Amino acid sequence: MRFPMNSAAPQNSSAMISASFFARARDNMVEQQIRTWEVLDQDVLDLLYAVPREDFVPPQHRALALSDLEIPIGDGEAMWQPKLEARVLQELAVRRTDQVLEVGTGSGYLTALLAHRAGQVHSVEINPRLAAFGQANLSRYALDNVTLEIGDAARGWDRHAPYDIIILTGSTPVLPRSLPAQLAPAGRLFAVVGEAPAMGAQIVTCTAPGAYGTVTLFETVLKPLVNAEHPPRFRF
């Protein structure tokens, strides 16, 4: 689906928080959260000013949109912390020619960030309510390079493959082989792999057809994707 051109802000009481409040909060977010987490790419930092995060959170949490928090968006799901969104964008080095698969649309905020840097973003959400929430948020902006689909992409989405970028917004105990197999040559995949409390944020790069290199960036904990692949359980 495509989105109409409409830059109107949400019309509710929480939207009446002053612009100066968000300006100060955004400066604090960038200087105190983002830069201190080794995000120094100026293009990424500029993007955090260009895409208002407060327009993508539920109205009751709008004042906390720029805080160092995972913000609930319903059905047990939450937005990433801003520093994680920025760090992942920096590590993936998204380019204007890239075709991106985002597994899990959620609020649509990361989708919007990706759309400002990539050629095309295909975002797939398994939860219809969250898909509608993300669509409503994204529809305020003139993003003609985003498609939203409802479905289960936890083990890949071959409809538009191959991809230059694949990003999983939830963790997976085991990375399915089918996901890196959908990368184009030199394509990059971001995933948080493992089970709590031992999860690692990884970048997997397609170095040649059927060959992949993996770098672990940092440790973190994310809720698993619905229908994420699990390691086989031994039976005695």
Query: DSSP states of 184-229 as a string?
Result: EEEEEEEEEEEETTEEEEEEEEEEETTEEEEEEEEE---PBPTT--
Looking at residue 17, its pLDDT comes to 83
pTM value is 0.91
Number of CB atoms found within 10 A of residue 181's CB: 15
Strands 198-208 and 183-195: antiparallel
pLDDT, position 228: 96
- Please choose, from the candidates 127, 176, 183, the residue with its C-alpha nearest in 3D space to the C-alpha of residue 158: 183
Which pLDDT score is estimated for 234?
60
pLDDT recorded at residue 177: 96
pLDDT at residue 1, rounded to an integer: 35
pLDDT given for residue 13 in this prediction: 40
Per-residue pLDDT of the chain (236 residues; tens, 9 = 90+): 333 334 444 544 444 688 999 999 999 999 999 999 999 999 999 999 999 999 999 999 999 999 999 999 999 999 999 999 999 999 999 999 999 999 999 999 999 999 999 999 999 999 999 999 999 999 999 899 999 999 999 999 999 999 999 999 999 999 999 999 999 999 999 999 999 999 999 999 999 999 999 999 999 999 999 999 998 876 55
- Fold adopted by 13-219: Rossmann fold (3.40.50)
Report residue 5: phi and psi, to 5°. -80, 115
Domain boundaries, the chain: 13-219
- The angle subtended at Cα 91 by Cα 87 and Cα 93, nearest 5°, is 120
